Amino acid sequence: MSAARGNEDGVEDASVKDDGVRDGVRDDIIRDDVILDDIIPDDIIKDDIIKDDIIICRDVHKWYGNFHALKGIDLTIGRGEVVVVFGPSGSGKSTFIRTLNRLEEHQRGQIIVDGIELTNDLRNIEAIRSEIGMVFQQFNLFPHLTVQRNITLAQTWVRRRGRAEAEAKAMQLLKRVGIPEQAHKHPGQLSGGQQQRVAIARALAMDPKIMLFDEPTSALDPEMIKEVLDVMVELAQTGMTIVAVTHEMGFARAVANRMIFFDEGLIVEQGTPRDIFDHPQHQRTRLFLSQILHQ
């Protein structure tokens, strides 16, 4: 899927913007192919199962004061698509994912989620948030509540489920993420990996159509990363729409339909994992991959 084109200014080639961006991707493309041999093993690349667009972004801009964090993002994400967003610190990737459920407000452009435009209308914001689950770098669990209660709280308040139904759902999800025995403990008694799995279960308890992950493994010790990634892989294989900001390239190679490289508030390059890993077109993408894959 390519970035959306704008022709509102009536110029002869409307796909080229004044800042050197073509179709949401920088125009200074390096044409010769570079193959990154033996850097990462060949994994199964997920077949394209996209049916229709569930997220549409048109010319999305975001400023923090004078700092231009997002510079005209044009992007569509299909229902059931798994998209990995990656890039250097400060590139705008986390800001972008947080605009999708209004944790950050975009100042210009249009964001449409499952047919609902994200505006200042609180009804639209609530409707979109009810369909999106999000997992953050930090676990954001309530320390004074048990694991089970962390998962049932929003179910009873937002979904209006009865206590028994909510508790049954919580136990089902704790089994799914592999820690049913932790249900009656408090978050402080769990490892970081276990807490992040509780956070995933809590998000899934709301039956979201879309899951957003904002660097979910960055705060974990190396030995705990795999247990969280295993849950994310299983989730991706069920057909859930996922947008994940992550530098876990093995995860991206295994399950992503598409990878999007951000830098300086722009989409520099996007493509399938095979395109990105084996034939990165932009020299900035090559440099970033060479650094992160050799760490």
pLDDT in tens, 38-63: 333 333 334 444 459 999 999 999 99
Distance CA 242, CA 211 (A): 5
CA distances from 10 to 7, 17, 42, 283, 287 (A): 6, 11, 45, 31, 36
Taking the alpha carbons at both ends of the chain, their separation in whole angstroms is: 30
Distance CA 132, CA 256 (A): 19
Distance CA 266, CA 245 (A): 15
- Angle between the N-to-C axes of helices 192-204 and 163-176, in degrees from 0 to 180, rounded to the nearest 10: 130
Distance CA 7, CA 222 (A): 47
34 beta partners:
none
Helices H, strands E: what count in the chain? 9, 12
19, pLDDT greater than 80:
no
Distance CA 1, CA 217 (A): 27
Residue-wise pLDDT for 173-182, tens only, equals 999 999 999 9
Average pLDDT estimate for 62-80: 97
Distance CA 293, CA 64 (A): 31
- Angle between the N-to-C axes of helices 192-204 and 147-157, in degrees from 0 to 180, rounded to the nearest 10: 20
CB atoms within 10 A of CB 127: 15
Residue-wise pLDDT for 86-111, tens only, equals 999 999 999 999 999 999 999 999 99
**pTM flag (> 0.85):** no
Distance CA 137, CA 228 (A): 12
- pLDDT classification of 27: cutoffs 50, 70, 90: very low
- Angle between the N-to-C axes of helices 192-204 and 222-237, in degrees from 0 to 180, rounded to the nearest 10: 20
Average pLDDT estimate for 191-220: 95
What is the four-CA torsion angle of 122, 125, 129, 131, rounded to 10 degrees?
110
Residue-wise pLDDT for 233-274, tens only, equals 999 999 999 999 999 999 999 999 999 999 999 999 999 999
Residue 182's Cβ-count burial label (10 Å; 0-12, 13-18, 19+) is buried
